[in-house]
Amino acid sequence: MVMDSHPAGTSSFFLFSFRTFLLLVFLFAAGCRGQGQKSTPAIREGTELCVGNYLTEEEARRKLEEYGTTYHTAAEWQERAGRIRRNIVEGSGIDSLLAAKRHLQIRVIHGALHRMNGYTVENLALEVMPGYRICGNLYLPDPLPGKVPVILNPHGHWFRPEDYGRFRPDMQYRCATFARMGAAAFTWDMYGTGEDRQHRHHDPKALRMQLFNSIRVLDYLCSQPWADTGRIAVTGASGGGTQTFLLAAVDPRIDVSAPVVMVSAHFFGGCVCESGMPIHKYHGFETNNVEIAAVVAPKPLLLVSDGKDWTRNVPRVEYPYIRRIYRLFGAEEQVRNAHFPKEGHDYGPSKRQAVYPFLARYLRLDTAGIREDDVILLDTTALKVFPDSMLVPDPMNR
């Protein structure tokens, strides 16, 4: 293995003048994808965790109506979006963490390089702090045509041995196809999963650390000579969808966002990595994941939903709400919903086929590369950065 060092981007966009209030955050008993859960007790006046099915569907609909009365112009929405962004930043404490650690050089550990049919896959570990590594896989077009767009691919809570995290077949199909369309695609382990045996996924600070990891992954990718930093997208499903809209909301480098099977007015995410810090109700200001996803307006946004999970109402509740925001900017064509009423909670073939042309349009990718039939799936060992390492078994119960 070759180890080298690369300076990461040190943009100061995130170093806000305010500092995070000290929060009393505690571990709550919430399993990922938990249903029927209510929030834990308030941890500060006007501050509360919104967990799982925090609202009924009818309560959520009425909440959106209430939120909608607070703005009537694009400028008023941008003011509200700024407050939503501040909720995420202060509620998660990400600003203090970035201020303390973002200046550190990212050291890159190179694992195996696989040459495939029209693309390569390289196993990489990004050491973003001493001893703190983010393991992942970088898919690039082969040959590399020069500057290419970048697509970040966070994964969700799938941890069966044969269908695990960043190694899943759907992730490999997706990233390989993006590479053959002419983009760089990177996928990495959720905090405390995969090759990250140093941490527990059910850590009270998991949300903060996952957002930190996403930003540092983007720092690394933007530092590469082949990266077109004016064409950057993020897409993921389930808990990867949460990572998608949180990163897009706080990091202005994201140009296109495509959260899959996650945006809901009544469901806030059942895992500590999604709702374990007060990003929805903080210091008297309240929002939800629908508005967090819409913070990117008027940038291109694709919502992918289905009929068998908490995104079942998107065509008649969440999507119209977001579309109204885009209408304020005269940009309704920039937001779309791909709904699959007979399908369930996954990033399956039909959902990928909806995402490919959307990203191709806004990242100027080659649609001739949209084919999956000859993608060769690699086994988990081949995709590990450290082949002899054991993956975290059953991260949800560790």
How does pLDDT run across 264-301, given as a tens digit for each residue? Answer: 999 999 999 999 999 999 999 999 999 999 999 999 99
Whether 95 and 156 have beta carbons less than 8 Å apart is answered as: no
**Residue whose structure tokens are 């009537």:** 72
Q: In this predicted structure, what is the pLDDT of residue 135?
A: 98
Please report which confidence band the pLDDT of residue 59 belongs to, taking 50, 70 and 90 as the band edges: very high
Q: Is the pLDDT at 2 greater than 90, yes or no? A: no
Average pLDDT, the chain: 90
Q: Which CATH class is domain 98-384?
A: alpha beta
Q: What angle, rounded to 10 degrees, do the helices at 74-92 and 94-101 form?
A: 70
8 Å CB contact between 262 and 7:
no
pLDDT recorded at residue 19: 37
Confidence of residue 178 (pLDDT cuts 50, 70, 90): very high
Which pLDDT value is given to residue 45?
Answer: 58
Confidence at residue 47, expressed as pLDDT on a 0 to 100 scale: 83
pLDDT tens, position by position, 96-142: 999 999 999 999 999 999 999 999 999 999 999 999 999 999 999 99
Q: Pick from 151, 210, 209: which is nearest to 176 by CA? A: 151
> Three-class SS string for 348-392?
CHHHHHHHHHHHHHHHCCCHHHCCCCCCCCCCHHHHCCCCCCCCC
SS3 state of residue 219: helix
Residue 17: per-residue pLDDT: 37
Select from 226, 203, 189, 115 the least CA-distant residue to 380.
189
| Residue spans per domain, the chain | 98-384
